Every structure is written in C-alpha cells, then in structure tokens.
Amino acid sequence: MPTLPDSELWFSEVHDPAGTAQSWRLNAVRLDQRRTPYQHIEIFDTTTYGKLMSIDGCVMLTTRDNFLYHEMMTHPALFTHPNPENVVIIGGGDCGTLREVLKHNSISSVVQIDIDEQVTRLAELYFPELCDSNDDPRASLLFEDGLAWIRNAADSSADILIIDSTDPIGPAEGLFGPDFVQQCHRVLRDGGLLVQQSESPLVHQALIKGIRRNMGDAGFGDLRTLGFPQPCYPSGWWSVTLGVKGSHSLDTFRHHDARSKAFTTHYYTPEIHRGALCEPPFLEAALK
C-alpha cells in the first residue's frame, strides 16, 4: 500500500463515515492557529491549493476551490428571489459568502452573524480576497450566537437566510435542528428563501433528508438540493438545500438577469443553475 513520503509535510483529514481521507502537501508546518472558546482554527500553506483553513481538523476552505462553494451558496438563491434586498448569513466567518451576496445591486443590507470572531480575523490575514467587501456600508458583521439572533429577529424581516455553517457538530449543531428552521421560517417574508449548506449528496444522504424534513415541517413549500463539485470536502461533491416560504416554485429564476449580471463568476452560470436543479435519481430515491 503506498504511503506518504516521510520527507514531505502533509495535512490530512480523515472522514470515518465515508472510509476515506484526503491529504494536501504543505510548504510549511503551519502558518497560524487560534484556540478559541469554540474551536481550534489552523492555517496552512499548501503547494497546490494555496492557503487552507481547518477547524477542529476539518478543512473549511482553500484558496484554490472556495469559489465553488461561495458562488453556489449565494447566486442560485439570489437569482431565484424576485428582488432580494435584506439578507442574513448565519456563520460564514470567512466572509466569502458575504462578498458574493454584495455583488448584487438590489441588496440594501446584509447581516452576518458568526459566533467566533477569530475565523474572520484569520480570513482577513490569509484570505484577504474574500474579505474585500467587509467594509461595504450595506454589511454588518456581528460576532454572537446565531441561534439567539434568529430567535430575537423580527417576523418577516428578511428576504434570504443563508446558513453557511460548519458540519453539524459543536457550535453549529443547533443550526440543523427543527426549532431553528421554524424560527427561520418566521423571520422570512413571503417568497423568502432559506439556504442551508447540506454536506455531500453521496455520503450524507440521511442528513440531507433530515434537513428537508425539518424545512417541510416548518412550512417551507418547494425544496431543492443543488449539488456541485467541491474537491476539498469529503467525496469531492457538496450540496446546498433551498426552501421557499409560500407557494412559489424554485424551478424558475431570473435567467436573463443571471445571464447579463454585471459581475464575474468562476463557476456559476444560468446553465449550471438549471442543471443543478435536476436532482439525480439516486438522491431522489434516498430522500423519499
């Protein structure tokens, strides 16, 4: 069985549920780390994926492929809503999702709530390209408990809620629960969208099924799970699950606006959006 060369430095993440592991060759042992009251954050410099951030040993993002995640967490929902103005991001401390949301001219306010300020401070140091919109006057960055923030938010006060969380363990565990999803439904206006990062369609089908059950029980109408490639995450395939408040359909989106958008994307296109709405047969069967 081949082994990693002893003479080279590597960062490895083992994913027991999938029976797999991934490794990245490093230029240095470690660039930085912070042990916070919530988690252990580390920054590495890889030879081919640029900077890498891990939390509690799990890869959160890399310089090379984070655009896949951040674009698919934002643009499908933003081009589906007829006129998104007020957006709330729970989590998202690396600020890549915030940056993508603020590319839309219709946005008047974005509130980002992440419990751990150090995620943002490290992103500012090592992923500055993700943080270049942090000073946008439309943006508010709060470092507090997202669960509590949603409980205290006003009814029908947001157009889109994006749950840009880590895996459902530790501080993020409550962001996947039914009570939280019900609160999100209350905070959204009619036609509003809930956007939940929903892990791998290949190895986390039970989690996706639970997310969709919680959304349905909370009163969300149409539900869709959009898959996309994500090389740095387990299985290399990730997903975002969307739910809409009311009787609106997620099948339709502002195709012309997506085609004529005034900003550049590296992955998202109207055609990618349309294709991602088509859930593969194996996932449809698993979610029944």
| Catalytic member of 65, 114, 164, 167 | 164
| Token couple for 61 | 């993002």
> Which residues, 6+ apart, have CB-to-CB distance to 238 below 8 Å?
68, 69, 72, 197, 199, 200, 201, 227, 228, 229, 230
Distance CA 212, CA 23 (A): 32
Distance CA 66, CA 156 (A): 31
Q: Is the dihedral of CA 118, 57, 73, 38 positive or negative?
A: negative
Count of other CB atoms within 10 angstroms of residue 115: 23
In the residue annotation, 65 being an active-site residue is answered as no
Cβ atoms of 191 and 248 within 8 Å: the answer is yes
| Token couple for 94 | 């690396």
Give which of 198, 209, 222 is closest to 81, Cα–Cα.
Answer: 222
> Which residues, 6+ apart, have CB-to-CB distance to 125 below 8 Å?
32, 43
Count of other CB atoms within 10 angstroms of residue 140: 13
Distance CA 132, CA 126 (A): 12
Active site positions, annotated: 164
